[in-house]
């Protein structure tokens, strides 16, 4: 089986963690690296979390490279930071210090090298700063990238503001560059990712696996469920980032539509909003947006894949 060469650009993040563990348990993917970015937590913490996750998965072939600590327009902070993913970004559990080393190339340089070495799919599940800087430094590399699969944006309603979804809001300038570049993009916006969730039965299933991965996943998801209960009046947790990985495992699982996407970089109230134009004339656009997914099928696959960790 030909495996898809993948780099996951990430800000772990509880739902990033589930996405990463799903990817690392999937034989369809050759995950070469996790490149980190500031987002759900600062860069130091998201990078530490990426190293923790590689150690947890025992996939010591996967490189962890640190990327950008600040958005292109400067560092961003948001109200209630720490409420969603915990202060440490992974639900504030206890972890031993990971043995997984930090790679010595900057994430942007590593991405450029891996793009130069062969067909590469980039799964971007955090703010798009690393990809924006990559395009600033190496504008021609977009033509070499097989595909960029992004979790971000919203067609209808944001989460960090009424207009904007977090990953795009956290670096709108980078996002605008990413959507304007020539690479094929598949976008998983909130209106798609809100169809994908895990409930208390799923948490009990993971915990009942009696493996380190199973226990960690259930323990990380518990505070995330409490946040959902307060914010959305439901304990079911949204699996935003896992949708970007799921797309690579089964191309037919998520129905998609051709669109044009622009990012609002200057609005008084709407900075970071995605302008997703779904009109008919964009049917063949190189940018596709996820529209619908069957959650039961997704959850079944996630359960099966995570149960392969020993
Ligand atoms: C996105 O923001 C982060 O909190 C999640 O990890 C996900 O990537 C959802 O808006
Ligand atoms: Ca994320």
**Beta bridge partners of residue 7, listed in sequence order:** 33, 122
Neighbours of ion ligand 2 (CB under 5 A): 13, 16, 125-126, 241
Q: Give 287 Cα–ligand 1 centroid separation in angstroms.
A: 20
List Cβ neighbours of 154 (8 Å cut-off, separation of 6 or more).
Answer: 164, 165, 189, 190, 191, 273, 274
For ligand 1, the distance from its centroid to the CA atom of residue 57, given in whole angstroms, is 21
CATH topology of domain 4-306: Inosine-uridine Nucleoside N-ribohydrolase; Chain A (3.90.245)
Per-residue pLDDT of 255-296, as tens digits, reads 999 999 999 999 899 999 999 998 878 778 899 999 999 999
Q: Name the closest-CA residue to atom 2, ligand 1.
A: 166
Distance 241 CA to ligand 1 centre (A): 7
Alpha-carbon distances, residue 263 vs 68, 83, 111, 129, 282 (angstroms): 20, 26, 23, 14, 17
Give the model's pLDDT for residue 76. 85
Q: How many CB atoms lie within 10 A of CB 257?
A: 15
Atom of ligand 1 nearest to the CA of 40: 4
Residues with CB under 6 A from ligand 1: 13, 15-16, 40, 84, 125, 151, 159, 165-167, 240-241
103 an active-site residue? Answer: no
Atom index in ligand 1 nearest the CA of residue 241 equals 8
Both ends of the chain: CA-CA distance in Å?
A: 24
For 242-256, the pLDDT digits (tens) are 999 999 999 999 999
Q: How far is CA 249 from the centre of its chain?
A: 15
pTM comes to: 0.97
Domain boundaries, the chain: 4-306
Q: What does the pLDDT read at residue 77? A: 78
pLDDT < 50 regions, the chain: none
């Amino acid at each position: 089986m030909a495996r898809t060469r993948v780099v996951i650009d990430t800000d772990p993040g509880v739902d990033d963690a589930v996405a990463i563990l799903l990817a690392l348990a999937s034989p369809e993917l050759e995950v070469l690296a996790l490149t980190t970015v500031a987002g759900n937590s600062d860069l130091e913490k998201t990078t530490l979390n990426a190293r923790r996750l590689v150690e947890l998965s025992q996939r010591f072939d996967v490189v962890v490279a640190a990327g950008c600590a600040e958005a292109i327009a400067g560092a961003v902070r948001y109200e209630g930071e720490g409420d969603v993913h915990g202060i440490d970004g992974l639900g504030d559990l206890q972890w031993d210090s990971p043995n997984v080393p930090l790679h010595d190339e900057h994430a942007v340089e590593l991405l450029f090298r891996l793009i130069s070495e062969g067909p590469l799919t980039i799964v971007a599940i955090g703010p798009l700063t690393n990809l924006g800087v990559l395009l600033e430094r190496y504008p021609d590399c977009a033509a070499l990238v097989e595909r960029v699969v992004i979790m971000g944006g919203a067609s209808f309603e944001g989460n960090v503001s009424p207009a904007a979804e977090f990953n795009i809001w956290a670096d709108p300038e980078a996002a605008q560059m990413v959507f304007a570049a020539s690479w094929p993009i598949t976008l998983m916006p909130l209106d798609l990712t809100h169809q994908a969730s895990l409930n208390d039965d799923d948490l009990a299933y993971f915990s009942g696996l009696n493996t380190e991965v199973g226990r960690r996943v259930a323990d990380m998801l518990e505070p995330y469920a409490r946040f959902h209960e307060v914010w959305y009046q439901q304990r079911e947790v949204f699996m935003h980032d896992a949708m970007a990985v799921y797309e690579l495992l089964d191309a037919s699982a998520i129905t998609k539509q051709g669109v044009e996407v622009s990012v609002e970089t200057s609005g008084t109230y709407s900075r970071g909003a995605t302008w997703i134009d779904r009109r008919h004339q964009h049917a063949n656009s190189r940018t596709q947006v996820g529209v619908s997914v069957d959650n039961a099928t997704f959850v079944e696959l996630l359960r099966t894949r995570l149960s392969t960790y020993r």
